[in-house]
Amino acid sequence: MNYVVNAVTQDIHTITLNAKDGANIVLTNAGAAIVALWVPDKERQLGNVVLGYENIEQYLNNDMALGATIGRHAGRIEQAQICINGAQIQLPANEGTHLLHGNFSSLLWNYEIIERADDISVVFTLHSDAGSDGFPGNVDVNVTMTFNEAHELRIDYDALSDAKTVLNLTNHSYFNLSGHPFQPIGDHLLEVKSDYYLELAEDSIPTYAKATRNSSFDFSEPQLLAHLFDKDDVQLTRGGGLDHPFHLLPQQPQIRLVEPHVGRVLTVETSYPFAVIYSGNNIDETAILTEHLQAKKQSAICFETQLAPYSHFKKRFDAELAANQRYHYTTNFRFTTL
């Protein structure tokens, strides 16, 4: 393997990790984001399977969080409020009265490259001061993205805080295995090993658990996404598709996505207990993507592996991180063919 670094501006760089067969991943330190990911189909033709902006500088103003590292909290925090050590803290709301995602995706990250024979890692690092986005605690974050000759992308999340805080990190890549990001994903087959999901309120706040079995959210067997979009289920019609946290069972892989025509397969294995599965319902169709393509709604799907969304209203505290407690989770995206 080898890598190439390109300075888009003095501060914004792209880092391309190249496998020997031509497969590659393009990363940027703007938001510690994935820009492009080229892997072969069953005919060994390379295709880019993630959505990315044509203008790299847009990753610092990334409203859709394309490919970005999300923090301090992935997903929505109800009423933008957390409660730490009995004290209620009001965070800045950025989606109505709620907080969505936080500011990590709009920051420049430091990085270093670790080169090995069969894989290369880019270690993105960030120091987040106490009070950033309203959260307590000085937090140091390492996000290591490793790409190898077997077309696996491993993301390791490590962090440490000097005070009790809330932390929930993820990557927000949008996948379309056809290699043509302007095409809808209705012909993709999705399989998820999950026992329950969290229903959403009208304002998309995750509420309470509901069993996946025998519901519209039962992906224990592969389900065509086109059928999902057509179902008369208030949980699907309310947001135009999926945007729900799924509790994952320990069997590996927990998620499998197949595009049967070109034969690409994505499997996801993670140490996180949840994944928010989002079917691109609110993609901004004015955005210009790589290769000067126009963005389209429901043209990609996200698997945002993470902790349960924090809510002191719903008594969900998994995302609380104690002072000097190590935060460490791993997600592996593996690309193969039928």
Stretch (H or E) spanning 194: strand 194-200
- The CA distance from 320 to 166, in Å, is 4
| E strand intervals along 102-168 | 110-115, 119-128, 139-148, 152-161, 165-166
Q: How far apart (Å, rounded) are the C-alpha atoms in residues 266 and 249?
A: 18
- For residue 183, what pLDDT is reported? 87
Q: What is the pTM (predicted TM-score) of this model?
A: 0.97
What integer pLDDT is reported at residue 142 of this predicted model?
A: 98
- pLDDT reported for residue 182: 79
The per-residue pLDDT string of the chain (338 residues; one tens digit each, 9 = 90 and over) reads: 999 999 999 999 999 999 999 999 999 999 999 999 999 999 999 999 999 999 999 999 999 999 999 999 999 999 999 999 999 999 999 999 999 998 999 999 999 999 998 999 999 999 999 999 999 999 999 999 999 999 999 999 999 999 999 999 999 999 999 998 878 999 999 999 999 999 999 999 999 999 999 999 999 999 999 988 888 899 998 888 999 999 999 999 999 999 999 999 999 999 999 999 999 999 999 988 988 888 899 999 999 999 999 999 999 999 999 999 999 999 999 999 99
Domain ranges (residues) in the chain: 2-337
Question: Which pLDDT does position 238 carry in this prediction?
Answer: 84
- Joined tokens for residue 147: 């790409």
What pLDDT, on a 0 to 100 scale, did the predictor assign at position 239?
80
Backbone angles phi, psi at 65, to 5 degrees: 55, 40
Note the pLDDT of residue 292: 87
Residue 329 to residues 83, 277, 279, Cα–Cα distance (Å)? 24, 18, 24
Instruction: State the architecture of 2-337 in CATH terms.
Output: Distorted Sandwich (2.70)
Quick check: 101 and 74 in contact, CB under 8 A?
yes
Selection from 164, 170, 333, 204 nearest residue 265 by Cα: 333
Q: How far is CA 286 from CA 58, 97, 282, 302, in A?
A: 13, 26, 11, 19
Active-site residue list: 172, 304
**Nearest residue to 299 via CA among 232, 199, 233, 226:** 226
Res 231: pLDDT? 87
The answer for 201, left when phi > 0, alpha when psi is -120 to 50, beta otherwise, is: beta
Q: Is the separation of the CB atoms in 81 and 90 below 8 Å?
A: yes
Which of 119, 172, 208, 130 has the alpha carbon at shortest distance from 282? 172
